[in-house]
Structure 1
Amino acid sequence: MAEEPPTKRTCLGVDCENEASALQCPKCLSLGIKDSYFCSQDCFKKNWGTHKNVHKQENSILSHIFTPKVVSEPDPETGYYNPFPTFNFTGPLRPVYPLSAKREIPKSIPHPDYAEDGIPKSGRSFVRANKIQQLDEKAQEGMRKVCRLAREVLDIAAAALRPGITTDEIDEIVHNACIERNSYPSPLNYNHFPKSVCTSVNEVICHGIPDKRILLDGDIVNLDVTLYHEGYHGDLNETYYVGDRAKADPDTVRVTEAARECLEEAIKLVKPGTLFREFGNVIEAHAKTKGCSVIRTYVGHGINSIFHCPPNIPHYAKNKAVGECKPGMTFTIEPMIALGKYRDVTWPDNWTSTTIDGKKTAQFEHTLLVTETGVEILTARQADSPGGPVPMPVTPETNGTS
């Protein structure tokens, strides 16, 4: 029998299209991780900062159990697979399919106009004219109610977070909590998004699709919850630490708390007369003090009876946003802050957006109402809300010891 020619390998370096040599990562070899090939020593060194995250993930027993052994077709033991085996992922995270079946909403619960065909229709005239609505008292009360319910649902989901739970399980929790509140989960089938909540893990900036991947001790995950209730949408998100390892990692805490603080600093500006472009100046200035960057692709947005409408709220400095805050306006501010570069890459699912260098990113969001004298945080945390700020971990460097 003729011997088959050796299979060509692609270098694991980010954005490297070279054929891999026989050089393998020595740490991967010691851990039993196969096919960890690079084209050169220089390329290996250049990518070490991102590649070493694979070792942390592979060290977890849970990772061995739940990571598919094959990618283009279901793992014979688990049935899981990576649907995009040839995609050049920027970090260690991989999708774990199959997705669960679409969850149903009782017909007795009011549905938004896109629920059936995935196409949002209401508010198009406002979007085209860039008209920003100022809500009357009745509409403001409707927004207060839906935002209180959205906070309840987010807190329920956050309380369930732990190493070992899947993001699909979180989706089921959110979905059921919405139904219990006679509400429709706004993301479901919005422009054909397949799930009821966005779960964005580690290097995922936003719009992560819940799947069969388990959350690991050391991960961070953003839960982005929106409810549609009695004709209004309420939108908020927070980033949470998964397990004690996440809270003990200085970079993880730095980016997460920077994102939290960026939102807080921006909210301080909200009052009649503040220009929408001012928020980005404050957010980027604070992010830079923490050695972080601001994602530019995604913005805050108007929200009311329409899920996304004017105004647009960019989070980066020197933006060209038009308009100013006026009483009765409701909109979100939701800065996405990254440890590395601000540029993003979208997975082939056309939703999941990740950092271009695979480094971690965090986000926080509130729905806000401009009042006559300032701002009302409609999605404010409650005294018993899970999560909250975490202090920077003490390390030999921060403790002044060697």
Structure 2
Amino acid sequence: MADRFFGWRVVAAAFALASFAWGIGFYGPGVWLHALAEGRGWSVGLVSGAITVHFLASAALVTRLPRLHARFGPVAVTRAGILLAAAGALGWALAPAPWALLPAALLTAAGWAVTSGAAINALISPWFEARRPAALAMAFNGASMGGILFVPLWAAMIAWLGFAPAAGLIGLLGILALWPLARRYFGTSPAAMGLHPDGAAAPPAPRAQPPRPGALWSQPAFRSLSAAFAIGMVAQMGLLSQVFSLMAPALGPRGAGWALSLATICAVLGRTAVGWLLPPGADRRVAGVLNFLVQAAGSVALLAAGGDSAWLYLAACVLFGLGLGNLLSLPMLIAQAEWPPAQVGAVVAALTAVNQAFYAFAPGLFGLMRDLAGDWTVGAAALALQLLAAAVLLRR
């Protein structure tokens, strides 16, 4: 039965890994920005630049993930990533001056590279074919859970204990929880257990789809797919890196944390709906376009909030959040539909690297715009980029 299929246990373990990975590597920097800017008086632009280093270095490392898995195995690589993420978070908290954020950012970058989107896809894909959209949606809901749990957790623990004790405790708890899970669920494969993808009685028939010729960058489909989601992720990461500190004056630090948790709850709902309800023959690019437009509506609400409207901030979080999770899973689902199975792994790794290389600059860019022109630039820039991404994705 499907509920006894070991692949679903792998999904549950990947869910837990994603919660920790996103709680530190994706959502953490936005809270750290507020803690360092408000608590130590450091420049928003300068700290945002360190966040850019974190994502840019990760983009350079993530392309090596397939080789690392092949050489050392998913268990060792995942455990190393957990340790690096925890050590890096502590490095951010202990930094005595802005220059010390650089080595801390490199540590969190390495941890993020081997525990984030490409890693989750690599851990899940061998277990599922037909039900991969639902499996990925469930696993990536852990990313949203990272926002639901970790953003208010970071805010509350920093306020209660201070940045360094909070970072040390959160990192230690992650290590203790995930270390045994990695061995139990990431150290085997369907073939080793005598199973077939999706828990089927027989292996699925291979999809009759010839390989696409030429390098990926020579293929118009890959260029439009990678460009659209890279642009969308610039908007998403730029907004997420700044929105906590934008909302904090009106909602308070804890209120801003709970507002971001609302966004990630909506991300779970949006991703689950797409994963389970998307028809098998549907054009997944159309789903991507609609997703960008929903997020654009959230950017409009953020602009209208004007710095003091709590209800509009909440509306922005709901609308932006509904599309938040799908920016992680939809590129992989589109790749699965448009490329043969033998090429999907390489396409996903390349997409992840391109996305991170682009959105690595988003925190620094959005922080600089705030410093130069004011808070309104965050919503305006996100809106323009989301509309552009929707247009680009329709090109084949």
Question: TM-score scaled to structure 1, two decimals?
Answer: 0.29
Relative contact order: is structure 1 or structure 2 higher (C-alpha 8 Å, sep ≥ 6)?
2
Larger radius of gyration between Structure 1 and Structure 2: 1
Q: Return the structure number with greater strand share.
A: 1
Question: Which structure is higher in helix share?
Answer: 2
TM-score with structure 2 setting the length: 0.30
